[in-house]
Amino acid sequence: MSHELNNTSISNALDAADFEVAAAPCASPESTEIAPLAGPLRGSIHVPGDKSISHRAVLFSAMAEGTSRVTGVLDSEDVRSSIRCVRALGAEVSLEKQPDGSLAGGITGWGAQGPKQPDEPLDCGNSGTTARLLMGILAPWDIRVTLSGDSSLSTRPMRRITAPLMKMGVRFEPEGREHLPLTEIGSANLRAIEYDAPMASAQLKTAVLLAGTYAQGTTVLNEPARSRNHTELMLPQYGVPTTASDLMSSVEGPRVLQASEVSVPGDPSSAAFLVCAAVLHPGSAIQIENVSLNTARIGFTRTLERMGAQVEVARSGSSGKEPSGMIEACYTPHLKGCEIPAQHIASVIDEIPILALVAAHAQGVTVFRQVGELRVKETDRLAAVVAGLEQLGVDAWEDGDDLFIEGQPDLRIPEGMEFDSKGDHRLAMTWAVAGMTAGVPVKVKGFESVNISYPGFLSDIERLTQ
């Protein structure tokens, strides 16, 4: 069974048909056998483009006046959802598949004219970033747009986005509904607001800031802990100044984004799976090149260091205002548990499943504080991590919103275990790494969900074992 995106053989321009919705990843009942690593992971590699930055490059270019040039864009199901939606809204997207698997080319946005009324509901697939950022993008336009998603996205909370946008003057139907599908009716007279976000969420922050670019005055977003800041870093590249301190971001409107050039660095969240596999597998030593080293994203390297793992980060340049460079990781035989405090959780939020697997191999208890947000990711990742670790024979439990893992340095995994990814890409890769690094074959149900963020995951692992 092949898990590649359905058109990875296409080497030239991608057209509309290439962005049709793929089969819902969560629907698959099939299991994939994952082979143990053929040897230590060694050598250097580039991981695909950062998912968060790729979404923003596509969406901001679609909003802008003129033709933007983008390179290094991640070709994955989630980013294709963003591309499909902005095309339906009138942006011209001419991206070509590059030899390294990334997408590059031009995107001509709707600019001051605004998006067109789409003929059909916009299907955001599995992508929370697409749905939530689009809500902010559609806020200033007098059109009616229905946003829908797959069965996973249709259970994820949306009131966190609709509540501040309604304060700005946007309407949603049905009113007060928490889940997609939702119909948004924008307002040409958006009010600038100061909003205290109830949780640290870059998707919420971005939706409000993007709406704020069209509102008269200063829109301010305060957050309880620092979330990723790609929007604040990238908007000035599109001619929209932002101000940002640790817990506050703001934008001054009204402004029309102007076309820009964006080069997307490698995704640290994808790199984390290779890094953790190298830390766990004897003899491994790898380098991941040209990866984003944004501090709001590489909390996992600090967590691994605190566990005693041999991990190093070396900055060598930047892509726009995003710092980039290399992450090195070596096998580390003695790991120790540690505590990850609430204010650092946002910087590891997508890496908690794979960090939990590393914690399962460490001496002592690891505690992730205040990780309730994991319950509303692509699946309930908190419950799924506890269940998967219990399957491995590791004591893991939730206490309120905290996650506890009591590691076992001599953990052995029996052959032939079957894990359920629940259609969640990060869980699929976590359980694959559990088997690979333990030297036993395992089965992962719904493994093709890796196409959401890292379609070449298995081939990159294979390359590092040669």
Give the catalytic positions in this structure. 350
For ligand S3P, the closer CB: 47 or 413:
47
State the Rg of the chain over Cα.
21
Helix (H, G, I), strand (E, B) or coil at 229: coil
For residue 192, give the nearest of 210, 168, 225, 172 by alpha carbon.
168
Least distance to ligand S3P, CB of residue 395, Å: 26
Residue whose CB is nearest to ligand S3P in the complex, by number? 52
> CB within 8 A of 282, min separation 6: which ones?
40, 331, 333
Contact 249, 228 (CB under 8 A): no
The neighbour count for residue 208, using CB atoms within 10 Å, is 29
Question: What is the CA angle 205-209-210, rounded to 5?
Answer: 115
Contact 112, 143 (CB under 8 A): no
Rounded to whole angstroms, the Cα distance separating 227 from 113 reads: 32
349 binds ligand S3P (CB under 6 A): yes
Least distance to ligand S3P, CB of residue 94, Å: 24
Q: Which stretch binds ligand S3P (CB under 6 A): 200-208, 238-246, 275-283, 390-398?
A: 200-208
**Distance from the Cα of residue 384 to its chain's centroid:** 18
209 binds ligand S3P (CB under 6 A): no
Rounded to whole angstroms, the Cα distance separating 52 from 156 reads: 18
For ligand S3P, the closer CB: 371 or 413:
371
Rounded to whole angstroms, the Cα distance separating 43 from 91 reads: 40
Q: Which of residues 43-82 bind ligand S3P (CB under 6 A)?
A: 52, 55
For residue 288, give the nearest of 461, 449, 439 by alpha carbon.
461
225 binds ligand S3P (CB under 6 A): no
For ligand S3P, the closer CB: 133 or 362:
133
Rounded to whole angstroms, the Cα distance separating 454 from 14 reads: 19
Distances (CA, A) of 63 to 112, 185, 321, 352: 8, 17, 20, 33
- Please select the residue that binds ligand S3P; options are 54, 61, 126, 129, rule is CB under 6 A: 129
For ligand S3P, the closer CB: 284 or 319:
319
Distances (CA, A) of 421 to 25, 149, 235, 443: 10, 19, 35, 10
Least distance to ligand S3P, CB of residue 443, Å: 26
- Please select the residue that binds ligand S3P; options are 102, 201, 421, 451, rule is CB under 6 A: 201
For ligand S3P, the closer CB: 83 or 349:
349
For ligand S3P, the closer CB: 128 or 253:
128
Token representation of residue 312: 């190093």
Q: Which of residues 354-393 bind ligand S3P (CB under 6 A)?
A: 373
Helix (H, G, I), strand (E, B) or coil at 149: coil
For ligand S3P, the closer CB: 82 or 102:
82
For residue 230, give the nearest of 242, 222, 217 by alpha carbon.
242
Least distance to ligand S3P, CB of residue 128, Å: 6
- Please select the residue that binds ligand S3P; options are 85, 202, 221, 392, rule is CB under 6 A: 202
292 binds ligand S3P (CB under 6 A): no
203 binds ligand S3P (CB under 6 A): yes
Least distance to ligand S3P, CB of residue 21, Å: 19
Site residues (vs ligand S3P, CB under 6 A): 52, 55, 129, 201-203, 206, 227-228, 349-350, 373
